[in-house]
Amino acid sequence: MILSDVDILRRLEDGDLAIEPIDDLDQQVQPASVDLRLGERFLEFQRANIPCIHPASADEVGEYVTETFVEEGEEFVLHPGDFVLGTTKERVAIPDDLVAHVEGRSSLGRLAIVVHATAGLADPGYEGQITLELSNLGTAPVALSPGMRVSQLTFTELTTPADRPYGEERGSKYQNQDGPQASRIGSDPEFDDDDDADAGESGGAGEA
């Protein structure tokens, strides 16, 4: 079951679903979604510094990105073909009986801006800001302003609450993230030399 605006407002009032800060409920709560705003921090990817990225090497991943801070009222220009990591201004906390889906806004999609490549899911139990995978698929640069509504969340109710929700207890690597986070795929168990690693300890798709 997908939550309607009535369901979303009830869950927000009850406090088991949290989205903060919401400055304007009437504007941000849509018929079956909640609009989220663009944050002020971006991770930009550098070109040609290394021949390739090895996912298991945290040093290589770190060398490949630089952080840029853009204050509200200023602009981040996303050029054609560029890919950057952004973040939502809002922090979310998803209860164990819901899964949230990160979607783009139609108005930005019509400018060829997409907000996620694959990380479109926030697992039950996920808490933190949401990293946005921003790409410009068009032919003209587009100016993005922190504070603008850039994405939306829809919510699906599970038939039963998750028995092992996303979180620190299972070692979920993006729990409580603050700002955009670069890939931590190197901590996945398939890259771990320890044969006893628990394949479930890296968490689910809460890296949205």
25 is an annotated ligand-binding site residue = no
Residue 172 is labelled as binding a ligand: no
Torsion on CA atoms 207, 71, 77, 142, rounded to nearest 10? 80
| Residue 105 annotated in ligand binding | yes
**133 belongs to an annotated ligand binding site:** yes
Catalytic hit among 133, 168, 169, 201: 133
Q: Is 89 annotated as a binding residue?
A: no
Has 133 been annotated as catalytic?
yes
173 is in an annotated binding site: yes
Q: Whose structure tokens read 């490949």? A: 64
110 annotated among ligand-binding-site residues: yes
- Whether 82 has a binding-site annotation, put simply, is no
Q: Which long-range contacts (CB under 8 A, 24 or more apart) does 163-169 make?
A: 164/200, 165/96, 165/123, 165/124, 165/125, 166/94, 166/123, 166/124, 166/125, 166/126, 166/203, 166/204, 166/206, 167/125, 167/126, 167/127, 167/203
Q: Contact, 105 vs 132, CB < 8 A? A: no
Known binding site for dCTP: residues?
A: 105-110, 123, 131-133, 152, 166, 173, 177
Active centre residues (catalytic) = 133
Known binding site: residues?
A: 105-110, 123, 131-133, 152, 166, 173, 177
